[in-house]
Structure 1
């Protein structure tokens, strides 16, 4: 059985109607900083808003090391029209034995409410089930993150429960909602 990571060598480029999902590069630093510096964008994430471009560079350094060492790193979400990086989406916590991944994602606030993240996540789910052969794709969000929960629901994920006092985020224990889609729920086209 192939590992999940083996499907990322070479890194898969995915496309949707409005976006290109591709590796993040240092050329994306300004675009990434633009949205990562907005407090509203990081409100429901594990990280704080970037205070400087150096914060963004440190994150891109981390991403580049993931591409090199694990082969598995985030897809940068590029707006096809403007060619700008507007967010990212990635598989976290991969378990090749159980063929399970967790999704994480973030999107520039300038693109909220337009269905962009639903489009990108749908494509990443499709890749997971149709190309890799995953059995389960799950995602978690803070209870108050209604936008993220809507993305999960619109992409076919089902609410599986509340994870009480699950994770310390920004110095406070937080409850998280757990969503998932399993292979038998997925609509192969």
Structure 2
């Protein structure tokens, strides 16, 4: 079984990005993301209606990190501390050496390869540091942008579930993509 420890918090760097801990001072940027109907269109979670909602989301992120149950990074451009997105490992299954990756990005920065670039580091961290065997992503099958990110990042489609999720009075489909750690040792 996995033993996770996110203390001290691991900052990650790419050519253009710094992935750092989400801070309470990021509350306005988190609110801008989570209150944007277009950004949240394919994410079956309540939209943020107030700054308090964004504050609560940051507190949830902190609690999952502090309890070693999940890890999220603020996506920032090098040279700027402004949060432009979030990415992280959610729903970690220690017994199965598996986690779900999720991400969200400010629309002004979409279609620039930022999530693919961040994903490479987050996947590497998951495999090398967390010792995951596989990473999955669960998306709305209509989210072609997210599907492209996953395919560019080496993920393969595992499943398409029909109306398996009930949200806001509707049944929704989900698609599962995954990536296996080909370097992992037998447990």
**TM-score, normalization: structure 2?**
0.90
**Would the aligned equivalents of 1:107 and 1:117 in 2 still touch at CA under 8 Å?**
yes
2:65 to 50, 54, 67: 67
Distance 2:55 2:64 in 1: 14
Q: Which of 108, 111, 130 matches 2:128?
A: 130
User: What RMSD, in angstroms, separates the aligned Cα atoms of the two structures?
Assistant: 1.9
1:1-189 to 2 correspondences below 5 Å? 2-3=2-3, 5-6=4-5, 8-70=6-68, 72-184=70-182
Kept in 2: contact 1:39–1:48 (CA 8 A): no
Q: Which runs of 5+ in 1 are unaligned?
A: none
For 2:69 and 2:8, the matched residues in 1 are separated by 8
Deviation at 1:166, TM superposition (A): 1.9
Q: CA deviation at 1:88?
A: 0.8
Deviation at 1:9, TM superposition (A): 2.1
> How many residue pairs get matched?
184
Higher relative helix content: 1
CA contact (8 A) 2:42 2:139 kept: yes
Q: In 1, Cα distance between the equivalents of 2:21 and 2:168?
A: 28
Deviations 1:115-149 (A, max 9, x none): 10111111111111222322111111001111111
TM-score (norm 1): 0.89
